[in-house]
Structure 1
Amino acid sequence: MKASTSKAGGGGHGLTFLNCIEGDLGLVESRLSDEIMSSVLTAQRAASHILEAGGKRLRPALVILSARACSGEFVLEQLIDIAASAELIHMASLMHDDVIDGSHWRRGRLTANAHWGNQASVLTGDYILARAFSLLARSGSSRVMEAIAEAAIAMSESEIRQIEIRREPNLPVESYMAVVLGKTATLMSACCRVGAIFASAPSEQEQALACYGKNLGIAFQITDDLLDLVGNPELTGKPVGSDIREGKVTLPIILTMRKASQEDRLSIQRIISSGEVKAQDIEFVCKTARETGAVDETRLAAAAHITRAEDALCALPPSKAVSSLRALAHYVLSRDR
């Protein structure tokens, strides 16, 4: 079976630049629903809960767009399996993150751990992760399996590293970037790489797409961290300053510390180091971040990675898929949720 060339319009993702793969994403959604089925009622309910919370499905989109951007031939059903596995890995990581962070809200609704407790949530995340690798095995490609497995390893290590550096107010940018690369950018890069691998793309295109995904992922996480300070909770689905409450030192905080007066810097150090963060503390950090220009500088840092991502796409022939990848890069920079 060759890759379908049919295009569909509309869609539930709300991102018009993904309309060219709407049919493919519909197949991914069906595959996700099938794969989370379980005879264990709690596992079924908890997995369905996070699936029904929705999401942008960017990781499956990256797999599919990358394969189509390479103009190669591939078995569509197997590509859908790979794309769905990437989303399942992401879903599992979110369930684990919510337990680690003690979060009770995600995407504007209660988390699985708030409903079913930490133990059931961790084990359901493990179940979803196992289903992801079961799907990957169907691809028949050891290179695809290796790329995604390495990304999952990097994600786990980076989450542990993030725990190690919590409440460290003087965190170097390099330490922050190492976490961002591992927990977000590595999987996005792998999604792009495996799409190219599965389409039998030449090495130059595979490397270009991996570079695109890496820089897209870095920009995505930087923007996500910025939205934690300046985003609208009704759109982001979580309270402002969640990272500060959890002791996570992100790029906007690091830049604020660099630019703030000594007095304000000492106040922020106290807030970050404290396990008791009050509403007025959050307001103070957000206000200082804006006034020092740290917010604008953070946006510029994200924009620099988007430029690198777009530059990498020059190695690919023009196509609707490449145009969608460029539009996706612009979206990551301008998103509000």
Structure 2
Amino acid sequence: MVTRAAAIERSDRRVPQGRGGVVHPVFWIAAIALALTLVARLPLDGPTATSIATLVFVLGGMPHGAYDIALLLRATRLGRRGLAFAVGGYIAIAGAMAGAWIAAPLIALVLFIAVASVHFGEDWTMLDEPVLKVAAGTAIIAAPAIGHPADVARLFVAMAGSEGGETVARAMIAVAPVALLVTAVGITVAWRDGARGWAAATAIAFLALIVAPPVAGFALFFVFLHSPRHLEGARVALDGVSRRWWLATGAIMSSLAIGGWLLFAASLSRFLTPDITAQAFQLLATVAVPHLLFSRWIERRLAQRDRSTNDYQERPTS
């Protein structure tokens, strides 16, 4: 049985997450490296640099969603049948999103942007209104569209398979001023409330999204700022697992997702874009939809469990 002290300690460990977020030291190293590369005017938008940045955001970003099933097991009491149903549902949702890139790629692109905006908006816990959270999440996509409209348009056209992708890119530019204003408010609130490391890192990440080539800027944000925050949240929720189990689970689940997409893309290559970076974002979208749905459900179940544990521990003993 979890003691009251342990329950309180676990609750306290989540507090820093809510006010700002985890800023891993590697973020500052990556940010400095990116800044020096930009100052040196090295070609970050060339084919080789873009491929490297693509590899970084796929391999470095995928693991933060690799613990959904483990978190589901921790948050619920599923038997074998329930677990099979949950895993099947997860795969079915991902499969439906993958199919959308074949049947209706423009709709899939719009859905991806909507899901990404909601998911990235979850980091902005200092903003109370859900609409403001989504606006801040949208700024992650809108910022590159301001600094590099032609590059973002080309990427969206490749993903959508039509000129409709360019229309989506223009829409991102149109909403950018409001989205970035909300972002500035969120950063200010975080700084005022003491999460100054997270506020500074987020401001730097947004500057990189605007100034650096889109894939490089996104890799900095996604891999070195966004993912560590969610990995830390999963690590806290899965408190007690061994380091070996943690690393193995992340590697296996990420490999399955990437391997599944490679098999899917190889089988249906004539229906997909040959642009590897566009395909990498399509893969990200494919796993993002079930990840968002499951993570929101898991968060609610974990919160209910913690409240029940705390209420039980606080009952007076006779």
Into which bin does the TM-score normalised by the smaller protein fall? 0.3 to 0.5
Using CA pairs below 8 Å that are at least 6 residues apart, which structure has the higher relative contact order? 2
TM-score (normalised: structure 1): 0.31
Instruction: Say which structure is richer in helix.
Output: 2
TM-score (normalised: structure 2): 0.32
